[in-house]
Structure 1
Amino acid sequence: MPLPKSLHILRDRPFRLLWTARSISAMGNALMPVTVVFAILRSGGSALDVGTVLTCQAVGQVVMLPVGGVWADRLSRKLVLMATDAVQAVCYGLLAVLVFLNHAAVWQFGVAYTVAGMAFAFFTPASRAVVPELVDAGNLQPANALLGLTDSTTKVVGPALAALLLAVSSPGTAILVDSVSFLVSFVLVSRMHLSRPVERPEKHHFFAELRDGWVVVARRRWYLANLLAWGIWNFAIAFFFVLGPVVMQHGHGGATAWSIILITGAVGSIVGGLAALRYRPRRPLVVANATAVFGIGPLALLAPPAPVFVIAIGVAVAFLMTALVNEVLATVQQQLFPKEMLARVSSLDWMISFIAMPAGYAAAGPVAEFLGTRTTLLAAAAVIGTPCVLLNLLPGVRSVRLLPDGTIGITGERGTAASLPGDTSAPVPTVSTETAGSPGR
């Protein structure tokens, strides 16, 4: 039976190996959010200990993301992915052994999660930057959509599988499965051939290369504004996840209602990933920023609050649009920036997100205590879409378009490729260490 046209990319063996490796390791990782909580609690830890361990992972990711971006541009991204798989396999394998032997202490969870988080900080930019080395520009969005669809699906299936494993066995079993998933991923990635390898320029000082990557983004002031606006979006949507359970708990269905809402959101994410396989907007950034408005729904519907089924529909639509937009934005990034600097650009993108959402988690409670839950939700709803809508007034954002050959580029008013004032994107040259000090902001 022939594959649908949108899945033809799976015929390409190098990408198929990457997708399979990512699918297996993502499924293993999806077991951990549920498993680690019960593993710590069964080892004598407390809720504070759970929070500390998760914080260790987040700090490891944020601190090492800039480093991971530089090294993923310096080295073969295939080798970086293999190294991160190996490190995480060892971390979770050792942790599984400790859990099986009943010798796991909270500090050991913290160390394992910190090291795994640091490895993930190398994996994240390398994983996005390696895709253009495997597929041609016209197939980037379907490739990104398949990878994103896998992540969304595993986040739905993973917790259920983790609950099943916890019911019939020790938490160590699920942790060991995660470790094995990274070993399998390591083997698959090792067999992956980079059909479009990047020619890397001469290496300079680490901080000079880090600056070069970030300056390329800063020179595109409209693109940097886009990253910051989506950072604000992530900050505001965090209020939904913190305050939603509080609203549901006060006479609106409790944990059952909240579970229904999250499940519909997950289903929406999967549908959005499927849509991204085919839908390619003519003006990607304009559509992405306009779509941010749908993020208002989950927050605004919680404020009255609306009936549970109405909130669930609003969440499903918002998450559907977000999943679609994520793959569009990834494709724009991969095509507007030089391949040899893509990991550094991606690391800045991820770092903004990784900082913004935890900051929103931390701020939601205190702000709600001061303003009240309803006012806080409405304020977050107002914040979430406004910056992205305003971004569409910028000429640079409007000039990013889908070209006739299926690629994405910068066009002038008459549809010809053009460089915008204050922009370096047609094409973006590698920034030398001598010119990196003048970002043009």
Structure 2
Amino acid sequence: MNQLSSFRLLWISQSIANLGDSLYILAIVTFIYNSTGSAAFAGLFPVLRVCAQALSGFSAPLLMDRFRLDFLLWMSEMGQAICFGFMCVLFIALPSHWLIPTVLFLVLGISILHGWGIPARNALAPRLVPPDSLMKANSLLATSDQMVLLVGWSLGGILVAGLGILQVLGITTIMMFLSALALFFVKDPSKIVPSNQKKPKPWDRMKEGWSIILTNPLLRTLSLMEIISGLGESIWAGSIILVFVKGVLHKGEDWWGFINTSHFAGTILGGVLIWKMSKKIENWIIFSMLIGSLGIGVLTMIFALSANPWFALAIALLMGPPYQLRNIAQRTLLQSHTTAEWLSKVLAAFGTLTFVSYGCSVLLMGWIADHCTVQFVYIFTAGLNIISAVLALMAKKNTSI
């Protein structure tokens, strides 16, 4: 099987897995809320996922030293499929008072497995496409991710309400097995194989990706951009956007869904545009990252000051393309300026930064919303993205692009 066929199977596999993941999230959150009647308790689910994925980012280098990336990614998807299958059995056989703690324990395991798979996927993709097609490949993966999330969040609620939680988890299990089946035929063409020679101590191996980031000026700047912009990522999820819709736009919960759908649609549109213009963007990749960050900052500021719901809906749509432009340019830059030998470990460290930043964002933005106004949350986030744009100028000094 050639590299292009392997990339297509990787793309298909990850699209199926992401759709299953979105259905599973809705099913578990609904189950926890229905069982406890507590929104706060249901909120533990995303916090648990983020903590587990951050933990897996620290431990992933140990596995990358032992397994090839294609096998590690397959192992991640197959492990999740088995966990989902076991979860379905528990819903049938386990008494209700034991179900929530057991399900949360499985969620922890699934999240760790998922966290191992993310850097493996992002490090495997550059090995399956020519260097001049890397941005197009990243835009295709990013667009597919957003399309699947849009479908999953739109369809998931209907399926949970119509079929039930157990049936939706069964569908997720089947999807994960199909994802693992597709990955079975993906072959890593790289000559890099895990060595049987004596390796450094586990702690030193876990630090390798972090050490490379800290000693490489470009990667250090990209990581700082990720931390700063990541602190504002939670404004499009959870209670923040709901408070904005009710308190500023004076609309009901249905407009929460409209705003989120508009934002997802914008990111899909942005991914398609970048896919079409990938050759031009590759020649201006730092400038693209700068424009993306600046565009997000300006549009977030406008969104914060808008009071008309239809205008806010349009701004949410327009915000999608700069989000994709910044994120795809950033990922491509990181992949193309890290050697293949170290890329997976650098991506594992980078992913940990992403998860930790998002977790901090949930806490920080909630605190700001409680002590200031929800509009100030968006103004503050706009400022973070403008700072990120300034950092993109610093990145220019560390590359010839």
Distance in 1 of aligned mates of 2:3 and 2:342: 28
Distance 1:383 1:183, change over 3 A: same
Equivalent runs, 1:31-430 vs 2, <5 Å: 31-44=23-36, 46-101=38-93, 103=95, 105-200=99-194, 202=197, 203-239=199-235, 241=237, 242-250=239-247, 252-280=250-278, 281=281, 282-297=283-298, 299-397=300-398, 399-401=399-401
How many Å separate the matches in 2 of 1:226 and 1:89? 34
Amino acid at match of 1:182: M
Match of 1:414 in 2: none
Q: Is the 8 A contact 2:231 2:360 kept in 1?
A: yes
Determine the C-alpha separation between the residues in 2 that align with 1:26 and 1:375.
33
Does the C-alpha gap of structure 1 residues 285 and 72 become closer, same or farther in structure 2, counting only changes over 3 Å?
farther
1:152–1:239 distance in 2 versus 1, CA, 3 Å: closer
Change in CA separation of 1:309 and 1:72 when aligned onto 2, cut-off 3 Å: farther
Distance 1:175 1:211 in 2: 36
Using the alignment, how far apart are the partners of 2:232 and 2:158 within structure 1? 33
Please state how far the C-alpha of 1:155 moved relative to its aligned partner: 0.5
TM-score by length of 1: 0.82
Q: What letter matches 1:276 in structure 2?
A: I
Displacement of 1:70: 4.0
Is 1:235–1:357's contact at 8 Å kept on the other side of the alignment?
yes
Which residue identity does 2:251 align to in structure 1? G
* CA distance in 1: counterparts of 2:176 and 2:133, whole angstroms: 26
Q: Which structure 1 segments of 5+ residues have no match?
A: 1-9, 402-441
Alpha-carbon distance change, 91 to 260 in structure 1, aligned in 2, over 3 angstroms: same
Instruction: After superposition, give the CA deviation of every residue in 1:56-79 in whole Å (9 maximum; x if it has no partner).
Output: 222111112121144235421111
Could you tell me whether the CA contact under 8 Å between 1:285 and 1:400 is conserved in 2? no
Q: Residue 34 of structure 1 aligns to which amino acid in structure 2? A: L
* Contact 1:49/1:106 (<8 A) preserved: no
- CA distance in 2 between partners of 1:320 and 1:69 (Å): 33
The one-letter code sitting in structure 2 at the alignment partner of 1:159 is W
Q: CA deviation at 1:233?
A: 0.9
Structure 1 counterpart of 2:245, one-letter code: M
The answer as to whether partners of 1:238 and 1:360 remain within 8 angstroms in 2 is: yes
Contact 2:298 2:382 in 1 (8 A): yes
The alpha-carbon distance between structure 1 residues 377 and 82, as it changes in their structure 2 partners (threshold 3 A), is closer
Q: Is the deviation greater in 150-159 or in 199-208? A: 199-208
TM-score, scaled to structure 2: 0.90
Distance in 1 between residues matched to 2:45 and 2:122, nearest whole Å: 27
Cα distance in 1 between the residues matched to 2:310 and 2:297: 17
The answer for unaligned runs of 5 or more in structure 2 is none
Residue-by-residue CA offset, 1:373-403 (whole Å, 9 max, x unaligned): 3334323322222232243045534x342xx
What displacement does 1:119 show?
Answer: 0.5
- Other structure's SS at 1:337 match: coil
Instruction: Give the secondary structure class of the aligned counterpart of 1:193.
Output: coil
- The whole-number CA distance in structure 1 between the counterparts of 2:363 and 2:113 is 25
Alpha-carbon distance in structure 1 between the residues aligned to 2:395 and 2:328? 22
How far, CA to CA, are the matches of 2:120 and 2:65 in structure 1? 8
Contact 2:72 2:120 (C-alpha < 8 Å) held by counterparts: yes
Give the aligned residue type for 2:275: L
Return the structure number with greater relative CO, CA threshold 8 A, min gap 6.
Answer: 2
Distance 1:199 1:167, change over 3 A: closer
Tell me the SS of whatever aligns to 1:252: coil
Q: Is the 8 A contact 1:93 1:176 kept in 2?
A: yes
The answer on whether the counterparts of 2:232 and 2:384 sit within 8 Å (CA) in structure 1 is yes
**For structure 1, which segment, 290-299 or 91-100, has the greater mean C-alpha deviation from structure 2 after superposition?**
290-299
In the aligned structure 2, how far is the partner of 1:215 from the partner of 1:33? 34
TM-superposed CA distance for 1:371, in Å, is: 3.0
Verify the 8 A CA contact 2:123 2:347 in the aligned structure 1.
Answer: yes
1 CA distance for matches of 2:38 and 2:28? 12
- Which deviates more, 353-362 or 33-42? 33-42
Superposed CA offset, 1:277-332 (max 9, x none) = 23232231232133112222454234333312222222222222212332222222
Q: Deviations over 1:254-293 (max 9, x none)?
A: 2222222111111111111112223232231232133112
2:222 touches 2:330 (CA, 8 Å); kept in 1? no
State the superposition RMSD in angstroms: 2.3
Instruction: Decide whether the 8 Å contact of 2:291 with 2:322 is kept in 1.
Output: no
CA distance in 2, matches of 1:161, 1:240: 19
The amino acid across from 1:96 in the alignment is C
1:322 partner letter = Y
AA in 2 matched with 1:271 = L
Question: In 2, Cα distance between the equivalents of 1:148 and 1:73?
Answer: 27
